[in-house]
Structure 1
Amino acid sequence: MKQSWGPLWILLAAFLWGTTGTAQTFAPETAHPIAIGAARLAVGGVSLLVIVLLLGKWDLKNWPVKETLVAAISMAIFQPLFFSSVTITGVAIGTVITIGSAPILSGVLEWFFLKKSPSNIWRVSTGLSIIGCLLLFLNKGSVHVDPYGILMALGAGLAFAFYALVSRKLITHHSSLSVVAVVFSLSAIFLSPFLFIYDMSWISEFSGAVVTLHLGIVTTGIAYLLFAKGLATVPSSTAVTLSLGEPLTAAIFGVFILKEQLDLTSWIGISLLLVGIGLLIGLPRKKGQLGH
């Protein structure tokens, strides 16, 4: 796989993640956000596992158990922490803190565990992208600064950063498809208790079934497979910054599908996000590297 395709795979994954919020608006009102997250992982994990078995790529020989458990637990923790933070603090502040902290925490983890210091381009790109994200979400929903909600959002950002860091190590020895299938199948098992705690009757409704399939297959199975493919050639800190294309996509879908109105501040935020992501895609390529 050509190195130049790495960031494009990640941006495509971010595009698919960006449809999550819009898709959830079509779910039945009785669907609890955490229940949606648990169902999402269950469908995504099972679908990936079936594909791996059908393609005959199931190979657990010399499989790194510790790294797999860390990745699976990180993704399982991310779901309830993120949805809970959004419930407590509101969509705006919960989302900004989660996806804004993830690139910074990812850079710190790379420095701490891999002894790699992110480049100046990464610092500038991440800074612009986070500011752009903040400006974009100033237009969204109510803001309630609750310390527990903020801690949950930071925890979600850290969980995603850990997932990206460990997954990159996993895919250096195993195929992206098998790694994502194993990790998300385990994550689904870890979150399965939520399927019994919350009312899941909504999933039998047509809209509930369609939303669950979309979230599970498209925004989980396909999206995280693309993200894993990108991680094969892109540092985890850079990959997490590129994933900030998710709120950019969500905002665009909100305007054209949900008929939301964005003010000037939000459009400035979109512009900064585009510039930040563009720096990571364009400038590093001239040096034959990404993020370092």
Structure 2
Amino acid sequence: MAACLWGTTGTVRTFVDGASNVSIAASRIVLGGGLLLALAMVTSRAGLARLLSTRRGWALACLGAVAVAVYQSAFFVAAARTGVAVGTVVTIGSAPAFAGLLGALTRQARLTPRWLAATAGAVAGCAALVGGGESAGVEPVGVGLALLSGLAYAVYASVASAFITRGEDDRAVVAALFGMAAIMLLPVLATTGPGWTATPSGALILLYLGGITTAGGYLLFARGLRTTPATTATTLTLAEPAVAAVLGVAVLDEQLGGLALAGLALLAASLVLLMLPSRE
């Protein structure tokens, strides 16, 4: 459900005129982080205080918040340098691999043959879906930044999972991470110009991007982490480009070629494989 919400952002972004992608990203994190922090203060103040009551909790929360700020910023810079298609494939495709590596190194998750097969199929499907029929230049620094974005996203998911699986309140976890990330991105928002939010349509779009896709989406993601390993959850977020592609066809009259349709089918089949219950 979280990935489906995130998949709507690209379509909604097309209705914003005169705003940079970095400004939109910073705006949604600042608003979403503020809303998540306000919600936690009302519904889970004790959980938030417990989360940040130790040095280890503070250190882990700071790591997660830096990861949030980095993966948002690095992705948009990468897309500007190496193209949206390549940047998206490298970022979204590398995140599950990094999450699997982190899970194995920290012994938070075991990489099963099913996870390996589903992740490989989903990444291949994502690459075909995003890049099918389009040619995009590959710029080494841009690819490096996209890999950094994928790694940072995997770090965020692993940190959130570590907090939640040890019993911390999921609302407090996302509030702490995104609230701190919002503070970090305030200077970015100030320098990129949030003037696009002053119009009625801009304000509504910001409310949707910050309130629904960010605050709502990451609350759903955190809730899912209660019973789903970060490795599996990160692979499931590959549904995001599939939703974006379907909305592009349905809303924006975009066309999908044969390779992209095959990629969409492979991606869907891989995610279904990952979600099927397994015998113990």
TM range (shorter): over 0.9
Q: For 2:25, which of 27, 37, 41 is the aligned residue?
A: 37
Say if 1:91 and 1:142, in contact at 8 Å, map to a contact too.
Answer: no
Query: Deviations along 1:15-64, whole A, 9 cap, x unmatched?
Result: 00001111111112x21111111110011011112222233534312531
Q: For 1:185, which of 152, 176, 179 is the aligned residue?
A: 179
- 1:15 matched to which residue of 2? 4
Q: Does 1:69 align with 2:62?
A: yes
Q: CA deviation at 1:145?
A: 0.4
CA pair 140-202 structure 1, distance change in 2 beyond 3 A: farther
Once residues 199 and 97 of structure 1 are traced to their aligned partners in structure 2, the CA distance between those partners, rounded to angstroms, is 28
Q: Does 1:129 align with 2:117?
A: no
Query: Deviations along 1:193-242, whole A, 9 cap, x unmatched?
Result: 11221122111012221221111111110101111111111111111000
Q: Does 1:47 align with 2:47?
A: no
CA pair 217-140 structure 1, distance change in 2 beyond 3 A: farther
- 2:194 matched to which residue of 1? 200
- 1:274 matched to which residue of 2? 268
Letter of the structure 1 residue corresponding to residue 58 of structure 2: V
The number of residue pairs the alignment matches comes to 274
Q: For 1:242, which of 236, 242, 264 is the aligned residue?
A: 236
Q: Does 1:210 align with 2:204?
A: yes
Output aligned runs, 1:160-179, within 5 Å: 160-172=153-165, 173-179=167-173
Once residues 214 and 58 of structure 1 are traced to their aligned partners in structure 2, the CA distance between those partners, rounded to angstroms, is 28
Query: Deviations along 1:144-170, whole A, 9 cap, x unmatched?
Result: 200110001000000000011110011
Letter of the structure 2 residue corresponding to residue 82 of structure 1: F
Output aligned runs, 1:91-130, within 5 Å: 91-114=84-107, 116-130=109-123
Once residues 115 and 138 of structure 2 are traced to their aligned partners in structure 1, the CA distance between those partners, rounded to angstroms, is 29
Letter of the structure 2 residue corresponding to residue 36 of structure 1: I
SS at match of 2:136: coil
Q: How large is the Cα RMSD of the aligned pairs?
A: 1.4
CA pair 140-70 structure 1, distance change in 2 beyond 3 A: farther
Say if 1:90 and 1:141, in contact at 8 Å, map to a contact too.
Answer: no
Say if 1:91 and 1:141, in contact at 8 Å, map to a contact too.
Answer: no
CA pair 18-164 structure 1, distance change in 2 beyond 3 A: same
- Using structure 2 for the length normalisation, give the TM-score: 0.94
Say if 1:90 and 1:142, in contact at 8 Å, map to a contact too.
Answer: no
Query: Deviations along 1:41-91, whole A, 9 cap, x unmatched?
Result: 011011112222233534312531111111111001111101111111111
Q: Where has structure 1 moved over 4 Å in runs of 4 or more?
A: none
CA pair 89-281 structure 1, distance change in 2 beyond 3 A: same
Unaligned runs of 5+ in 2: none
Once residues 213 and 62 of structure 1 are traced to their aligned partners in structure 2, the CA distance between those partners, rounded to angstroms, is 28
Once residues 40 and 142 of structure 1 are traced to their aligned partners in structure 2, the CA distance between those partners, rounded to angstroms, is 30
Q: CA deviation at 1:116?
A: 4.3
Once residues 114 and 17 of structure 1 are traced to their aligned partners in structure 2, the CA distance between those partners, rounded to angstroms, is 29
Once residues 278 and 163 of structure 2 are traced to their aligned partners in structure 1, the CA distance between those partners, rounded to angstroms, is 28
- Using structure 1 for the length normalisation, give the TM-score: 0.90
SS at match of 2:16: coil
SS at match of 1:287: coil
% same residue: 39
CA pair 154-62 structure 1, distance change in 2 beyond 3 A: closer
Once residues 230 and 14 of structure 1 are traced to their aligned partners in structure 2, the CA distance between those partners, rounded to angstroms, is 11
Say if 2:68 and 2:153, in contact at 8 Å, map to a contact too.
Answer: yes
Q: Does 1:286 align with 2:274?
A: no
